[in-house]
Structure 1
């Protein structure tokens, strides 16, 4: 019965009807198990395994537990917006930074933080210019999170007590609400010449195709060839042995 489970030929000669019924259902069970196993194995090989992306600050705790280190531009608003937070997700994120080695979590520029992402397991938290730098360095190398955490999408600095502060704020709010600022941002990104993966690098998360399985098919062909040669040798030996017995008689 074990030979049936591994799809090996097995002749069971029985005339009992009850045993035949048991064997029929056992054969069906073995067939289903083997088909399910083969389908599962094919799915595991064909479906790429992607790492869970980090799209928001809420995803950072799990990322840190998996060995990632968050980074921001040090001694700027990017650092102090987390450092001065009283509670909430901002304060939780501040505790995730590497305070023992500031060079790992507090970089001098967005470009340095982006290069750190390529060199080790790091997550850079930066302004919208990070997307522009990612396009310049090769957008295919990065995963840009969808979550936004900056309190304001755009801002300008005015002298204290400026009489045009309120009119300017009103106009800026209208520009932001109308989506014109995002339009300008998208236009500037389109102007950047994009770098493509010309080397056709295959990452560890890419799907396995028939090209990658050529070695397995070669081994299977060699196994079938060896089995055919063994079968021919057995047939030749049996024929020779039968001729010898006939000649002796």
Structure 2
């Protein structure tokens, strides 16, 4: 370019939404002031490959100095550097790259990352009164530490002010983590799902792990003891048995009534019922019918009673030996037809975006009764057996491992086999961020080296042990409280002058 581009041309050149190719800016400037004005133009703040040449006179010869802008500098602001010179006949004075990779070294610059607590990917401690948090070992923090070490920068992790992952508002802007990155309050986000709406507004890194939505429920406990008496038969079989008994009583009564018209013997209705039911208890009915039709009826009835009671006894024996446990829920259709309540995270992540905007009838039906709770309350209700939590499998598997780690628990958890809405985890950067390529390069090396899977495996073990230690500490604390309560009761008894027998019993308890 013979001169700095005008506003209309510059707007086309710096349009981040269509910036797919590497762009180079080389401007001929009259003097150093004009060159610096071009190189430090704020509208070109994300461009790496910019240079200006200015004429210089040295005695009887003329040459051109080549100036570039170093985006990142220890001083904290861009720096103008003279990197080369060109003269007619000799060309460039050295072979240094005029357009070096400026994002290969951040010179200790501090970057801001935005994210929410989401084990095993993001883990941190909240600092009261501050959005800046204290990061702890987790998958994304490990990746970030590796990138920071390779690119020479430091970082702070902040929580979004509204505590949300982010939804697209009517004005076309994002809330939550996505809003922090879109407005450049943060230089990058940590682990979020790659959604089409997000890609339209921000630049994603390469996907470093694939995940899918599913749901977790509590396994159904074995049937109660009293229910085992009726479980050998299904409801329709019990209905048939009751109907057949009523029919048998009626026929027996009819036959005995016919027989009574010939003889003087009579039969009460209650006696007819007891004689029919006696056959199910292997009891011989007294006062047999002497009519041929009645004897044929009784013969078939005894055979029927024998078959029914034999089948019931064998089924009851097997039920007592192997308790029946209802199968767990594995599909969304089964979840919709169950009596469980269900819901998603209240901080409006990818699952919220899916169900709230989907046109799939099943998702729309689920959305009508959807509940919104945080992770702690959701998992508490899941363990109680009244709730199903819909979230990504990696998170739910961790929850299952943690909550099943105590063998004394009355219920286990089950992660459904059905997966839906598979997507990749990525980080999002502002549109046109010049360091996207460098982040991708280091992140992909972590994937190729198998570090992501190793970190996940190690973190699962750490989190489960941490959960077990917390439960053990809580149990010890509960035991100590109970013991202190008993000691207080003992001291009260002693000081109150109660009988020695009561005092001795309390001493035995303590």
Match of 2:389 among 124, 128, 142: 124
Alpha-carbon offset, residue 123 of structure 1: 0.9
| Structure 1: gaps of 5 or more residues | 12-21, 98-104, 199-249
Match of residue 22 from structure 2: none
Q: Cα deviations across residues 12-54 of structure 1 (Å, max 9, x unaligned)?
A: xxxxxxxxxx999987665544322211222343443333422
More helix by percentage: 1
* Alpha-carbon contact 2:398-2:460 (below 8 Å) kept: yes
Matches within 5 A, 1:160-239: 160-162=431-433, 165=436, 168=440, 175=447, 184-191=455-462, 192-193=464-465
Alignment partners' CA distance in 2, 1:46 and 1:123: 31
Match of 2:344 among 46, 55, 72: 72
SS of 2:364 mapped into structure 1:
helix
Alpha-carbon offset, residue 88 of structure 1: 4.3
SS of 2:425 mapped into structure 1:
coil
* Alpha-carbon contact 1:54-1:145 (below 8 Å) kept: yes
Decide whether aligned partners of structure 1 residues 53 and 186 sit closer, same or farther in structure 2, where only a CA change above 3 A counts: farther
Alpha-carbon offset, residue 74 of structure 1: 1.5
Alignment partners' CA distance in 1, 2:279 and 2:384: 52
Match of residue 215 from structure 1: none
Match of residue 145 from structure 1: 416
Decide whether aligned partners of structure 1 residues 85 and 182 sit closer, same or farther in structure 2, where only a CA change above 3 A counts: farther
* Alpha-carbon contact 1:61-1:96 (below 8 Å) kept: no
Match of residue 164 from structure 2: none
TM-score normalised by structure 1 residue count: 0.52
Match of 1:96 among 369, 384, 388: 369
- Work out the number of aligned pairs and report it: 179
TM-score normalised by structure 2 residue count: 0.29
Alpha-carbon offset, residue 83 of structure 1: 0.8
Decide whether aligned partners of structure 1 residues 153 and 190 sit closer, same or farther in structure 2, where only a CA change above 3 A counts: farther
* Alpha-carbon contact 2:379-2:389 (below 8 Å) kept: yes
SS of 1:37 mapped into structure 2:
helix
Match of 1:106 among 372, 390, 404: 372
* Alpha-carbon contact 2:331-2:417 (below 8 Å) kept: yes
Decide whether aligned partners of structure 1 residues 36 and 132 sit closer, same or farther in structure 2, where only a CA change above 3 A counts: same
| Structure 2: gaps of 5 or more residues | 1-274, 287-296, 406-410, 473-510
Decide whether aligned partners of structure 1 residues 29 and 62 sit closer, same or farther in structure 2, where only a CA change above 3 A counts: closer
